[in-house]
Structure 1
Amino acid sequence: MQPLAGPDLPHTQPRPMHWLVTAAALAAVVAAASFVQPPDATATTSGDAGTGRQSAAAPDPAKATFPVDCGPHRLDVVTRASGDLDGDGTAETVAVVRCHSEAGTPPSGIYVLAQPADAKAAPRIVATLLAPARKLSVEDFALRRGVISATLLGYSTTDVPRCCPDVRTAVKWQWKGGKFVQSELPATSSTERA
């Protein structure tokens, strides 16, 4: 069979916009894959090992109600870690949550949960470290020796594609003076790190 003679059809010639759309879609898939973890994944924890103290079970974030509106989508607990954050002898749980999405990266929330005296009661939120309204994503989350740390991913302008955050901020929270105190390093853009 001989190929058809004549000019190529206009839709068969790739244009720069086609490559841009393809690159953006690929970047979105890669970014989404980097955030996908099993719902029961846990981060590094610092418990009461070696202290001889017996503490009650840490609050289960699956039983908590978070102030996040996901519409028809479910809320995912992306990661969690437990430890005695305020030195009262009971374990708290820090949970990173976000709305479920098959594509893209919905903003994250970070909440500290405590278990009420009634062990059958649902855990309650005692602190909001990061509200989803700030439109940031969480990476490198950890809890070590009572210090909560994470890298927050965001955008320098509204022109930056939502698939590709270009600002990273290393943040930590620690219980001091009856509250969680946040400290952070200066934000860096991806061009500054290159």
Structure 2
Amino acid sequence: MDKPTKAEAEEAVRTLIRWAGDDPSREGLLGTPDRVARSYLEFFAGYNENPEEYLERTFEEVHGYDEMIVLKDIRLESYCEHHMVPIIGVAHVAYMPNNRVVGISKLARVVDAFSKRLQIQEKLTQQIAETIDHALKPKGVAVIIESAHQCMTTRGVHKDGVTMITSAMLGCFRDSDITRRELLSFVDRR
């Protein structure tokens, strides 16, 4: 797929402004095409990242630690692939290590790399879990995402305050009710 130039992206924004019923040449909108194009580079930066690279450096000097590691309330901003409007929420990521751990900021970077793409939440949840599972080969991985979808709150049915929760449970989180309950007790603590 050939990526359009910045000039082509800016012209597309001018077209959308005209289609919405406004004049892209009026003072308040003159810089809008440039600003939108630059913001898209930030919003969709995940297309330029390989999330598995964040998980390459691990630490084996853990003194036998083999209990659950949970990073909760990772803020995420994604974009609905159907309407291109924000999905804003939090991700909770857990894994049960198998002789090695990864720096916790790397888990947040994996969440960001996948969320900074056009997405549906179900796929986003699964991608994060499968990437961590593949790279770290832990005893188990769990990802829970809670988010509000602007495609539902600012258009369509206009239901503010509604959140969607998705989960992906792999390995011991899928196989053991005890492990799953322990994880949920950690995540539910406020």
When the two structures are superposed, what TM-score results if normalisation uses the length of structure 1? 0.30
**Greater strand fraction, Structure 1 or Structure 2:** 1
**Greater helix fraction, Structure 1 or Structure 2:** 2
- Looking at both structures, which has the greater relative contact order when contacts are Cα pairs under 8 Å and sequence separation is at least 6? 2
